[in-house]
A = this chain, B = another copy of it.
Amino acid sequence: MKYCDGKVENIKIAYIGGGSRQWAWGFMSDLILKDDISGDVYLYDTDYAAAKRNECIGNLANTAEGAKTVWNYHAVETIDEALCGADFVIISILPGTMDEMESDVHTPEKYGIYQSVGDTTGPGGIIRALRTIPMYEEIALKIRDICPNAWVISYTNPMTVCIRTMYRVFPQIKAFGCCHEVFGTQKVLIEAMEDILGIKGVKREEIKINVLGVNHFTWITDARYKNIDLFPVYREFALKYKETGVIRPKTANWNKYMSFLEKVKFDLFLRYGVIAAAGDRHLAEFCPGDWYLKSREQVEDWCFALTPVSYRRETYAQRDEKAKRLCAGEEKFVIEPTEEDGVKQLRAILGLEDFVTNVNMPNKGQISDLPYDAVVETNASFCSGSVRPVCAGALPMNVRSLVAGVSARQEMVVEAGLLRDPDLAYQAFVSDPLVRLTPDESKKLFDEMINNTKNYLKMYKI
């Protein structure tokens, strides 16, 4: 890797989960649009064929319309090859298959527990975490041994648990979790400004916020545009739409299984006075189960969707087809920049641009009332060779009891994963606010979910 004439060349990126049908393509698009960085991307995936297809697709991207630089893609058969000499490691893996996800999301429904996403918290999030932790443990050990100075950007859910696992295993790792959920709330603030103040054309990055919490359950305590305080604006907006939600024209990407109208967000804001900053589908899962996820009807009343795994299977298959078509030259690779900050972060670390954005990192004081070293989400200052969290202060007292409990249970789950101790994981499970069951029932559900996914839990004392 070398800096020369305003550009950085010969960057080496290891992409773990490099067979990805979605994140990888977006990342390729984002990379190809920056003319001051170039190098090689090594794709590693347990599904080597998928990685090989992405090698083909990535290399095609170099010739796509609008490409501004060149990145060479290489599928590799071992993680060691990918990591060797890496400057950056990108991790976006699916822990298990759609079958395990099916169990995570839908088994609890038999017990009256509904999950809108099921990959972060609640029963599904916990069981998924148990699968994921040993994988991240292995990856972190490899990074320690092969490329200890590499920067590691992780996208996998449950994000907090993944990042924490890596730091537990290799405390000197330079890793952070990257998530766009907060961006969505910045966009709602833009909608509020337009609706209430009539100010148009504002970009997301211009909405300045102070954000703190844990991934998918973050809170904005200060929001401004120029010198305008957006809290009164947001309050007016929330009051205006708290009953109906924000009904927007349906875009091409819209789908009924992922949609929500911000009613959960408004309800939380009007109760707590701070802005819950994630999609309603995520927010609802962190709250006591009777609030928004008591029944399918209640979910409907709050105008958000439960995402069925059947839908995920379907889109997954569609993307598989698309991958084949791209490789076969039957479809052209079209550069579609994502709204993720990953490539921007990478450039900032290379010293090409400075900025402040939200990340997930161990707490080194950025949140004064969550435990030191627990993984939290706040803004961080990105600049040459460094990602340093910005002090976000203390959680507002009224949301602290909610967030502190989440964080404490996440720590238990990580410990359970590292100790391969399902009992400890159950102790987190039984206290999850979505689990409104007697201990006997919750044990039965837990055991069933473990059993359903046992192919990926062989290292546990079960």
Stretch from A117-125, A245-253, A432-440 at the B interface: A432-440
Report the nearest B residue to A406, measured CB to CB.
Answer: B401
Q: Which residue of B lies closest to A410 (CB)?
A: B401
Q: A352 near B: Cβ within 8 Å?
A: yes
- Tell yes or no: A227 within 8 A of B by CB: yes
**Contacts A383-B356, A390-B391; is A227 near B8 (CB within 8 Å)?**
yes
Tell whether, in the assembled complex, residue B436 and residue A386 are in contact, meaning their CB atoms are under 8 Å apart.
Answer: no
Cβ of A412 < 8 Å from any Cβ of B? yes
**Inside 8 A of A424's CB, which chain B residues have their CB?**
397-398
Of residues 326 through 361 on chain A, the ones whose CB sits less than 8 Å from some CB of chain B are 349-352, 354-356
Q: How far is the CA of A1 from the CA of B384 in the complex (A)?
A: 36
Chain B residues near A307 (CB-CB < 8 A) = none
A68-100 Cβ-contact flags toward B at 8 Å (1 or 0): 000000000000000000000000000000000
Measured CA separation A147–B428 after assembly (Å): 34
A381 pairs with B381, CB closer than 8 A: yes
Is the Cβ of B401 less than 8 Å from the Cβ of A405?
yes
Asked whether any CB of chain B lies closer than 8 Å to the CB of A285, the reply is no
A383 to B224, CA, bound (A): 9
Contact of A222 (CB < 8 Å), options: B210, B371, B386:
B386
Q: How far is the CA of A14 from the CA of B324 in the complex (A)?
A: 67
Tell yes or no: A137 within 8 A of B by CB: no
Partner of A350, one of B227, B369, B405: B227
How many chain A residues touch the partner (CB < 8 A)? 68
Contact B404 A427 (CB under 8 A): no
Complex interface: stretch among A22-30, A187-195, A234-242, A286-294: A286-294
Q: What does the 1/0 interface line of A285-311 toward B look like (CB < 8 Å)?
A: 000111100100010000000000000
Contact check, B210 vs A386: say whether CB atoms are below 8 A apart: yes
With A354-B356, A368-B364 given, is the CB distance from A398 to B386 under 8 Å?
no
Question: Hey, which chain B residues are within 8 Å of A228, CB to CB?
Answer: 3, 351
In-complex Cβ contact of A438 among B208, B227, B291, B350 (8 A): B291
Residues of chain A from 359 to 392 with CB closer than 8 A to chain B in the complex: 364-366, 368-369, 371, 379, 381, 383-386, 388-392
Q: Mind listing 25 A-B residue pairs with CB under 8 Å?
A: A1-B227, A3-B226, A3-B227, A3-B228, A8-B227, A208-B351, A208-B383, A208-B384, A208-B386, A210-B388, A225-B384, A226-B352, A226-B384, A227-B351, A271-B427, A271-B430, A290-B436, A356-B381, A365-B366, A379-B388, A381-B390, A388-B390, A401-B408, A401-B431, A402-B431
